[in-house]
């Protein structure tokens, strides 16, 4: 299940389909260059994230840092960012550059936010904080990629906004499911080490729900393991059990379902057809990969 990578590719491909047949689109390679730029930006953030999080596995394989080291991962990430930047500029669309530079800023800000919020008191963490982090670290790039499809093909503003909303809500749904799987999925399906968020003290939606519904003892457990970072043998299994006992996984997936529905709803401005159906299928896939 190497869904993450092929997922973004699928999105770019689908947008290309929806964009190119109409309009006064001139630059034949621009949509490909922009899609490639988004991929490179995405890959660069993954390389850096794995260094920052000390990840050993991603998509079921060793991370680059385990093979070539942290140094190469930082520098090659920077190299990919440089190349992405160069390719974007070659397209010559200032509007596209505005969208992508905005996305780059928001994403980097989200990463810093997340680092600052790690090991925070679960008691003081609300869904709003959580959503702000996943919007910036994940959904913003989906939104930018989707909006770009409308920008390079010079579609009306209404369609650009619809596609941006589609990408944003799909990205949120995607990340929420990812966070649910970190506790409820198998490492094989997840493609990375299960329980990674727990080890890193990240406060994600399943934890927020389990904390809110938990007893005093359970809350003390979450505070000790995530806020104070004091984790012992068996704690991950207990976390998994607590989340299961409060139906926190199901409700997390249900939250993702709501965002996926918002993404589908955003497509109302487009006519029905096989392309729209493919975009809808992506939303359903993002939620159902959890089952």
Residue 70 interacts with a copy of itself (CB under 8 A)? Answer: yes
CA dist., res. 150 & res. 84, Å (int): 20
In sequence order, which residues have a C-beta less than 8 Å from that of residue 29 and are 6 or more positions away? none
Q: Which is nearer to a copy of itself, 107 or 172 (CB)?
A: 107
Question: Can residue 104 be called a binding residue for a copy of itself (CB under 8 A)?
Answer: yes
Task: With contacts defined by CB under 8 A, name the span among 102-110, 141-149, 172-180, 248-256 that binds a copy of itself.
Answer: 102-110
Q: Applying CB under 8 A, which of residues 1, 10, 32, 74 lies at the interface with a copy of itself?
A: 74
Burial 183-210 (b: 16+ CB within 10 A, else e): bbbeeeebbbebbbbbbbbbbbbbbbbb
Residue 118 CB, nearest approach to a copy of itself (Å)? 9
Strand spans (E) along 2-127: 57-58, 61-62
List the one residue from 26, 94, 128, 271 that touches a copy of itself (CB under 8 A): 94
Residues 19-58, one symbol each (x = binds a copy of itself by CB under 8 A, - = not), give --------------------------x--x--xx------
User: Which stretch in 64-72, 148-156, 256-264, 273-281 sits in contact with a copy of itself by CB under 8 A?
Assistant: 64-72
Q: Looking at beta carbons only, is 104 or 190 nearer to a copy of itself?
A: 104
**Nearer to a copy of itself among residue 75 and residue 238 (C-beta):** 75
> At its nearest, how many Å lie between a copy of itself and the CB of residue 240?
26
Among 101, 123, 237, 245, contact with a copy of itself (rule: CB under 8 A): 101
Query: Under the criterion CB under 8 A, does residue 265 sit at the interface with a copy of itself?
Result: no
Look at residues 22, 44, 12 and name the one whose alpha carbon lies nearest to residue 170.
12
Contacting residue, 13, 82, 156, 229, with a copy of itself by CB under 8 A: 82
Task: Using CB under 8 A, list all residues that contact a copy of itself.
Answer: 45, 48, 51-52, 70-72, 74-76, 78-79, 81-83, 85-86, 88-89, 92, 94, 97-98, 100-102, 104-109, 111-112, 115
């Amino acid at each position: 299940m190497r869904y993450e990578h092929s997922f973004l590719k699928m999105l770019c491909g689908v947008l290309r389909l929806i964009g190119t047949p109409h309009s006064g689109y001139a630059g034949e390679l621009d949509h490909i260059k922009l899609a490639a730029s988004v991929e490179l930006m995405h890959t660069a953030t993954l390389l850096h994230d794995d260094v920052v999080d000390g990840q050993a596995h991603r998509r079921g394989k060793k991370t680059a840092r385990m093979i070539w080291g942290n140094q190469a991962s930082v520098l090659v990430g920077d190299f990919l960012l440089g190349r992405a930047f160069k390719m974007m500029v070659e397209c010559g669309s200032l509007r596209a550059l505005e969208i992508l530079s905005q996305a780059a800023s928001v994403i980097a800000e989200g990463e810093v936010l997340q680092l600052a919020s790690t090991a925070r008191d679960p008691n003081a963490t609300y869904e709003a904080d959580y959503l702000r982090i996943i919007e910036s670290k994940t959904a913003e790039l989906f939104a930018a990629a989707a909006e770009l499809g409308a920008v390079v093909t010079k579609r009306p503003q209404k369609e650009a906004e619809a596609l941006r909303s589609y990408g944003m809500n799909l990205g949120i749904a995607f990340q929420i499911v990812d966070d649910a799987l970190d506790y409820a999925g198998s490492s094989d399906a997840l493609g990375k080490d299960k329980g990674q968020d727990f080890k890193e003290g990240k406060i994600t939606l399943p934890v927020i729900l389990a904390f809110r519904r938990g007893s005093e003892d359970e809350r003390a457990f979450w505070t000790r393991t995530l806020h104070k970072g004091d984790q012992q043998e068996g704690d991950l299994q207990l976390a998994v059990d607590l989340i299961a006992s409060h139906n926190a996984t199901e409700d997390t997936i249900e939250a993702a379902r709501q965002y996926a529905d918002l993404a589908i709803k955003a497509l109302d401005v487009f006519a029905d057809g096989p392309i729209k159906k493919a975009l809808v299928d992506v939303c359903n896939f993002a939620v159902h990969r959890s089952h």
